[in-house]
Amino acid sequence: MKDKVWFTYKARIQAHKRLEWLDFHSQMLLVWYAILSTILGVLSVRYKDVLGSDTDVMATVLSVALLGVSLAVTNRDFRGRAMGMRSNYLQLQKLYNELSSASAQPTPVQVELYNDLLAESENHNEVDDRIARFFASGLTSRQPTSYECISAIYWLGLRLFVTCLLYALPLAVGLYAWAIK
């Protein structure tokens, strides 16, 4: 029981970190795209063909896409979900500490509390468990396999790459459109 609580606790911490990452970068990307959209709007008033003959179409598509993405991001509620994960893993940590200081067998109340904590929060993703076990290598009874280690590193690298790509994409498109005009 103590191991189950520990693994759930560690995976929920990773889920919290993942959701905080998504919240922060989704908000920053929305601001970044809004700033670039505003700059494009201002420039296109003065220079009608700043990005070529389709500048007005590109500005309209960017505005509509920005509206759609902002609605989708808001509906995902990354911040609220991250706060829920944090609250859940703090309660799991408290239960783990009780189990660590108690006798060998968990009480029925502790088992019920664990089940209630599982039911009260959304579940973490499999990748959250893999990353938690990867970073806790040597400290855990469930050692990650080579595949799980590679999967965790790959996922973290891909997340960083995609995030950087999303920040750079509008500049690359703008530079390309300006260069071919």
- The reply to whether the predicted model has a pTM over 0.75 is yes
* pLDDT above 70: percentage of residues in the chain: 99
Long-range CB pairs of 103-112 (<8 Å, 24+ gap) are: 106/1, 106/2, 110/1, 111/1
Three-state secondary structure readout of 111-153: HHHHHHHHHHCCCCCHHHHHHHHHHCCCCCCCCCCHHHHHHHH
Query: How confident is the prediction for the chain on average, in pLDDT?
Result: 90
Per residue in 135-161, pLDDT (tens digit) is 987 777 888 899 999 999 999 999 999
The rounded Cα 79 to chain-centroid distance in angstroms is: 10
* pLDDT 10s digits, 75-96: 999 999 999 999 999 999 999 9
User: How far is Cα 125 from Cα 105, in angstroms, rounded to an integer?
Assistant: 29
Q: Which of 147, 164, 141 is nearest to 21 (CA)?
A: 164
Is residue 57 scored above 70 in pLDDT?
yes
Average pLDDT over residues 28-41: 90
> How high is the pLDDT of residue 139?
74
